[in-house]
Structure 1
Amino acid sequence: MAEKNYYDILGVKKDASDADIKKRYRKLVRQYHPDVSDHPDADNKIAEINNAYETIRDKDKRAEYDAMLDNPFAGQAGAGGFGGQSAGGGQGGQGGFRWEDIKDQFGDGEAFGDGGFRFDDIFSAFGRGARGSEGAHSQGGFDQFGGGFSSQDHKGQDQHAEITVDLSSVYSGDDYNIKLNVPVRQPNGSVDYDNKTLKIKIPKGITDGKQIRLTGQGAAGMGNGANGDLFLKVKIRHADNIRIEGADVYQTVNIAPWEAALGDKIEVSTPVGTLGVTIPKNSKSGSNLRLKGKGIPAKQAGNLYLTLNIVNPDSNSEATIQAYEQLKQAFSDINIDR
């Protein structure tokens, strides 16, 4: 048996109730779903979680799996896709040998018969995906001990890429066209690449770093296996005076000294459109004006923060110099802490 079983994967005890298992499963799906998770291996993680849940949520499958855990060499062939080595050392139940069981018997890298095959050579030739995870059958492996290899269908590998979108598209939702070289498996087993233009829907409110999943647009499958999926990580393009933190948007806004001192109402071009904004009296550079709910319209809308930046007029002209001199005289009795 592999060290990590289905109960470990879900983070529940072996005697956990159906309700507790379901509750834990839902929590893990919310945490690791590739569409919302930043986990670097979210797609494989969620597949592992789903595989575990599909077995122990079913009363009969769970009973068989528990029996296999109690006696891993009893030849149990679980309906949920798990199976162990038979007690007689022959063919491992309905599912055949697991790679880990065979490897444990003969050692990693030990010669396999006079032909000199090593397990690492076999894994390299037929893809490491057949080197089963916990409790998995040896797909594409031995039909029987000493026999050849059976041809199996395998889903293609998932692919990951990055797409850059405008901030305005995130506020409204938008369509983007991207060009891809999509791998296509030919009848003879070779892989060709087909140039394809895909129309991508950018969901309204998606935040920086989240992923868009395109089903079937990954690497070609083996045999009749489905293609893998393509995961596009979203990168938001924005102006230099803007920064983004989650769903919150920070925008630097330049104001004149008299607007800061006296207060004023100004119009500001923002990602959500042109807004009328009131500058409070005695505002200081670096202070933020919060516009609630005007950030990225995610499930929980962010806020838009206008960071005030006081800009002094250019003092190169004679008129500006005179104005500064008058201002200096008018405030000659003001002491400034330095």
Structure 2
Amino acid sequence: MAEKNYYDILGVKKDASDADIKKKYRKLVRQYHPDVSDHPDADNKIAEINNAYETIRDKDKRAEYDAMLNNPFANQSRASGFGGQSAAGQGGFRWEDIKSQFGDGEAFGDGGFRFDDIFSAFGRGARGSAGGQAGSRSQSSGFDQFGSDFGTQDSKGQDQHAEITVDLSSVYSGDDYSIKLNVPVRQANGNVDYDNKTLKIKIPKGITDGKQIRLAGQGAAGNSHGKNGDLFLKVKIRHDANIRIEGADVYQTVNIAPWEAALGEKINVSTPAGTLGVTVPKNSKSGSNLRLKGKGIPAKQSGDLYLTLNIVNPDISSEEAIDAYEQLKQAFADTSINR
């Protein structure tokens, strides 16, 4: 028996639950993985951890091991059967040990992986080899397949999300924008640093409010050789106060004079779709909408532009204006207005 028992190696109590043991095991693998750990004996440490976990994760093996701990002078010849230490040698592990830990086709961890993934990671020649060593860093690269589960090797960086504000005119025509970001960059020593970078972004014509633009590889840095995550920019459309947007439809409030509303006239209106000539119908009311089909945001299915009429009375501070309104009042003396 080694000086430290398997519970000591994993840092758990003898009555620890299976969930606590698995949680501690993952934490230790992340800490002592040979490709990321600065520990001088990381290779042997990983082998020791694997041997311990193989035994106490198995209900029957754990019961036998506990019995042996309680009576250390019994069954000493069976000690080498726990964890595969005798077969693999100090600091090594066997392919069969890994197979017994993770099982054929067993989904392990949140991401999960297949037994075939492990098989291909260590090479088909390793299967059945009792003395296959993982003592050197070049040989330990097989653990790269476990990166998505342990958060160590070759795992893709997290996707990042941000917001970009663009002008409504840019949405109508498509445009190029530049933004400055602190982009995560993994250095040769494995550390992550941040680099100020200016990114040029193409604003697609017809993109609507709330849609996202994906910038591949501009998210958080991946582990080791893992790819960077992606950056997703949520589009927020900037527009004037007299405009509101509903999907691809655009609503714009347009001020008109009382006589334009009453008599009906053709007026020129500056809109996101350009300057448009619009005919105001006779007897138009405030709040009524003029629909311009297809003049909304030019999305895959173009929206419409709605001009909401707002009648604005002119200033009557001058004597001439007051007289004009008095005449208007007399002209419409018989008009009844519902209040």
Report the TM range for the smaller structure's normalisation.
0.5 to 0.7
> What is the CA-CA distance between 1:118 and the residue it aligns to?
2.7
In the alignment, the residues of structure 2 paired with residue 123 and residue 239 of structure 1 have an alpha-carbon distance, to the nearest angstrom, of 56
In the alignment, is residue 118 of structure 1 matched against residue 119 of structure 2?
Answer: no
Q: Describe the shift of the 1:156–1:328 C-alpha distance in structure 2 as closer, same or farther (beyond 3 A).
A: same
> What is the CA-CA distance between 1:120 and the residue it aligns to?
7.7
Q: Describe the shift of the 1:125–1:206 C-alpha distance in structure 2 as closer, same or farther (beyond 3 A).
A: farther
Deviations 1:146-174 (A, max 9, x none): x9993521111110000000000000000
- Indicate the SS of the match to 2:323: helix
Counterpart in 2 of 1:317? 318
Counterpart in 2 of 1:287? 288
> What is the CA-CA distance between 1:194 and the residue it aligns to?
1.0
Counterpart in 1 of 2:213? 212
Is the Cα–Cα contact under 8 Å of residues 183 and 193 in structure 1 kept in the other structure? yes
Counterpart in 1 of 2:62? none
In the alignment, the residues of structure 2 paired with residue 314 and residue 125 of structure 1 have an alpha-carbon distance, to the nearest angstrom, of 77
In the alignment, the residues of structure 1 paired with residue 185 and residue 282 of structure 2 have an alpha-carbon distance, to the nearest angstrom, of 65
- Indicate the SS of the match to 1:232: strand
User: For the aligned residues, what is the CA RMSD?
Assistant: 3.0
In the alignment, the residues of structure 2 paired with residue 265 and residue 230 of structure 1 have an alpha-carbon distance, to the nearest angstrom, of 48
In the alignment, is residue 132 of structure 1 matched against residue 109 of structure 2?
Answer: yes
Deviating above 4 A after TM superposition, structure 1's stretches of 4 or more consecutive aligned residues are 119-126, 137-140
Q: Where do 5+ consecutive residues of structure 1 fail to align?
A: 1-104
Q: Give the alignment of 1:34-49 within 5 angstroms.
A: none
> What is the CA-CA distance between 1:271 and the residue it aligns to?
0.3
Counterpart in 2 of 1:263? 264
Q: Describe the shift of the 1:123–1:304 C-alpha distance in structure 2 as closer, same or farther (beyond 3 A).
A: farther
Q: Describe the shift of the 1:222–1:135 C-alpha distance in structure 2 as closer, same or farther (beyond 3 A).
A: closer
Q: Hey, which of these two has a bigger chunk of helix by percent?
A: 2
Deviations 1:225-279 (A, max 9, x none): 1111000000000000000000000000000000000000000000010000000
Counterpart in 2 of 1:252? 253
In the alignment, is residue 155 of structure 1 matched against residue 66 of structure 2?
Answer: no
What is the one-letter code of the residue matched to 2:109? G
Would you say how many aligned residue pairs link Structure 1 and Structure 2? 223
In the alignment, the residues of structure 1 paired with residue 28 and residue 249 of structure 2 have an alpha-carbon distance, to the nearest angstrom, of 51
> What is the CA-CA distance between 1:122 and the residue it aligns to?
5.4
Which of the pair has more CA radius of gyration? 2
- Indicate the SS of the match to 1:169: helix
* Identity level (%): 75
Counterpart in 2 of 1:46? none
Q: Describe the shift of the 1:120–1:331 C-alpha distance in structure 2 as closer, same or farther (beyond 3 A).
A: farther
